[in-house]
Amino acid sequence: MHYQLIHKSIEYIEQHLEEELDLEKVAKAAGLSKYHFHRVFRKYVNKNVHEYIRARRLSQAANLLLYSEERILDIALQYGFESQEAFTRAFKEIYALPPAQYRAQVRQLIQEREVYTMTEITGWKITGTHPEKYKVEIDPRVCYKTSPSMHLQSIEDTGPDESVFGTLMQQFQASRYVGKRMRFSGFIRAEEVAGWSGLWMRVDDKSENLLAFDNMQNRSIRGTTEWNHYACVLDIPPEANVINIGILLSGNGQVWLGECEFEEVGKDVPETGGQAAELLPEEPQNLKFNQQAAD
């Protein structure tokens, strides 16, 4: 329930970044009181609403610095800063350079090298049912915040079969996370996803038996969407040996993934693996196997 509210509020923020925004407006769009919404947003996104809006505005401003010829003052005013000096101070806090210097130096780096190929993405590998139909690269042109995003894209027509997919993933030891509730999260932007996409997380024992799993299929990303926050939350049982995390793309399309985190959360943050209880019947069904009359 809370993840749906967070998605709704982030969609509202993304659609109104160039307008006046505050906690009260965003909370109203989510349908919560501002005090309750503030607590929920910070718990699930790891920053308050003001920090989130500021970071996204600066990210959009950085993109304009690199890929447009707009004046710095105009960019500052477009994203709600009352002066170029105020914009410069805020920008430098995150990007370590004043806007003019950032525009000159980072543009040169991007011109020298537009993308980084799969072989250079340390720790990650691409697999799936048909990995040859997908490619992965680090894309500095599409950023959620300050860091380049990972870009997963279909390069061949996969047709309507949703069982055809590629995934970017990594594996690591579970020992330091045993007994904890862990969240793998990130921000995803999608374009023309014909099948579905989502983060996934799996926990295995020493015999590679599955202990816990979530792939977001029951809340998947489809079509074209702006940046939003997604997460998989699982308890790591005592017999856990390996944790696997990744992002999956089924069918045609492309997705960008940024600002990933893998962190411990409290028991008040619900697990996302398995079927939601409210979708299940309240009691056992048809234990005598009676044939049901057609409606």
pLDDT in tens, 144-182: 877 788 999 999 887 666 778 899 999 999 999 999 999
In the chain, % of residues over pLDDT 90: 55
pLDDT of residue 230: 94
Other CB atoms closer than 10 Å to residue 11's CB: what's the count?
16
pLDDT of residue 285: 79
Band of residue 142 on the pLDDT scale cut at 50, 70, 90: confident
pLDDT of residue 271: 93
What average pLDDT does the segment 54-75 reach?
Answer: 91
Band of residue 295 on the pLDDT scale cut at 50, 70, 90: very low
Q: Report how far residue 45's alpha carbon sits from residue 228's, in angstroms, rounded to the nearest whole number.
A: 10
Q: Report how far residue 22's alpha carbon sits from residue 139's, in angstroms, rounded to the nearest whole number.
A: 31
Instruction: Give the lowest-confidence range in 3-7, 50-54, 152-156, 264-268.
Output: 3-7
3-state secondary structure the chain: CHHHHHHHHHHHHHHCCCCCCCHHHHHHHHCCCHHHHHHHHHHHHCCCHHHHHHHHHHHHHHHHHHHCCCCHHHHHHHCCCCCHHHHHHHHHHHHCCCHHHHHHHHHHHHHHCCCEEHHHCCCCEEEECCHHHEEEEEEEEEECCCCEEEEEEECCCCCCCCCCEEEEEEEEECHHHCCCEEEEEEEEEEEEEEEEEEEEEEEECCCCCEEEEECCHHHCEEEEEEEEEEEEEEECCCCCCEEEEEEEEECCCEEEEEEEEEEEECCCCCCCCCCCHHHCCCCCCCCCCCCCCCC
Q: Which residues of 203-212 are buried (b: 16+ CB within 10 A; e: fewer)?
A: bbeeeeeebb
What average pLDDT does the segment 54-69 reach?
Answer: 89
pLDDT of residue 289: 77
pLDDT of residue 145: 76
Q: What is the mean pLDDT of the chain?
A: 86
pLDDT of residue 162: 72
Least Cα distance to 228 among 236, 219, 237 occurs for 219
pLDDT of residue 108: 64
- pTM comes to 0.74
pLDDT of residue 1: 59
pLDDT of residue 163: 76
Band of residue 292 on the pLDDT scale cut at 50, 70, 90: low
